[in-house]
Amino acid sequence: MSHDVTALARRRQAVGASRRTGWVMVLAGIAGWLASFRLTVDDWRLLRDPTYQPPCNISPVVSCGSVMSSPQGSLFGFPNMLLGLGAFAAVAALGAAVLAGARLHRRLWLALDAGAFAGVVFAHWLIGQSLYELNKLCPYCVGVWVVTIGLFWYVTLHCLERGIIPAPRGVLHLVRDTHWLLLGAWYGVIALLVLTRFWTYWSSPL
């Protein structure tokens, strides 16, 4: 009897974790796609009219026009946001499938996690370029950084919980029990880098 209760509890926990991952994928996919779409529209308008001022050009530091027109904004020979349009749409669609009860194949989860990891690496490269080369913060780009990190974190957690990615039991329990705290610390480090890099600007009105 106790074995059945334990199995049922584990099954419910697994279903709850899958729904959490599905919601993260849907919300991250939608948010990332909208940010990428907004950047695509502004980039297209800049190509038509070089004097166009995107609404995200808020200040000398918070600006996206110069970021989009920089070499870093088209690293692969085309605007970076086009990658986001395709990738985030696929993530949202897969997340909706997970919420609907679909069981994605192990290889698909691994491919999704690998893609999210590549996105995180690219996002951190862009963070470094924005802070220390371009000296600008693009609001929509920051949004993409946030959702990309969250997506990678929870897809990886799902893969660890389901045994898709092997990990020692102690590591699994630590990550599962403190996943929100570790993610918050990750975001906190990035926020601290932004704060210290532009401290002169942030503190000037004070």
Residues in the chain: 206
- Interval 173-205: pLDDT, tens: 899 899 999 999 999 999 999 999 998 887 775
Taking the model in full, what pTM does it have? 0.89
Number of domains in the chain: 1
pLDDT confidence of residue 75:
85
- Structural domain of 25: 2-203
pLDDT higher at 179 or 1: 179
Alpha helices in the chain (DSSP H): 2-48, 65-68, 81-99, 106-129, 139-161, 169-177, 179-197, 199-203
Nearest to 95 by CA among 80, 116, 73, 69: 116
- Model pLDDT, residue 7: 44
Per the structure block, which two tokens stand in for 42? Answer: 């502004």
pLDDT at 8 over 80: no
* Overall average pLDDT of the 47-59 stretch: 88
pLDDT tens digits for 134-146? 999 999 999 999 9
CATH (domain of 48): 1.20.1440.130
pLDDT-derived band of residue 6, with 50, 70 and 90 as boundaries? Answer: very low
**Could you report the per-residue pLDDT of 81-97, keeping only the tens digit for each?**
999 999 999 999 999 99
Separation between Cα atoms, residue 10 and residue 32, nearest integer Å: 32
